Structure 1
Amino acid sequence: MKNLILISMILAVFSFSACGQKKDVPAKIKTAFEQKFPTAQKVKWDKENETEWEAEFKMNGKEYSANFSSDGKWMETEYEIEKSEIPQAVKQTLDNEFAGYDLEEAEISETTDGKVYEFALEKGETKMEVAITPDGKVVKKEVKKEDEEDND
């Protein structure tokens, strides 16, 4: 009986460690990440596609995601923000151009091209993804209907 318990414990440890293994993230990507986000905590890595890695982590009390190319180049960082953190110029654009839409999600996306505010908006059955520059210019507007998603 003791052997059976011991074997069960060993198998449990192996199963747990296999599930908890980290993805094999290339060293140059980890190094680039650590240099850009030295205070990041609880980092989880995923391979986004063949040429891109994504790290999800916590920093300054917020949840972040950052993408790096296979050669270690930083590509994008995203993090959610509260409605109160949206700048006035961006709020004005939302109010003027997207009146009647409910704000489902707000986040900041930073790339080498700069910063944009990204929003998930909803009005009835219509869902929309919008990106607005800090000075209030709409740079992306993508409409999605719920029934289109259901027919896929």
Structure 2
Amino acid sequence: MTHDNMTLDWIHFTPGAALAGGALIGLASALYLLGNGRIAGIAGLVGEPLAALLRGQSLAPQASRLLFLLGLLLSPWLWQLAADLPARQAGASTGGLVVAGLLVGFGSRLGNGCTSGHGVCGLSRLSGRSLVNVLVFMGAGFATVAVTRHLLG
């Protein structure tokens, strides 16, 4: 078994942009919590309007969630007004991406929240449950990379 040496891509290493992005995510999460009294995790933001739609209920009470999701969908187009988007690339087939998405969705329901909800909002509130979930998410991610890169090829 060979081990690839990890090197840092200094040309694309952008700690300032990463810090600014993290600060914006934190600020948006804090503002959402202050304005709505709820955590800005995608699992709840998507799940509740979808459940209301499937039950045939009005989406009017879900307006703030739907606007939040609309902002997530529109943000790449708004960003393009200021700068180029990075090139899109995926290291998996379409089927692999679909399976991965379904597994992430299942895991989000199983863990009572998504990585952003537990990682950004839960950890900032010092939630023990979120700490356990983040450790499980990260461990599963590390294990998946190790298996797919070193055992499967």
- TM-score (normalizing by structure 2): 0.20
Q: Which has the higher contact order (CA 8 A, sep 6+)?
A: 2
- TM-score (normalizing by structure 1): 0.20
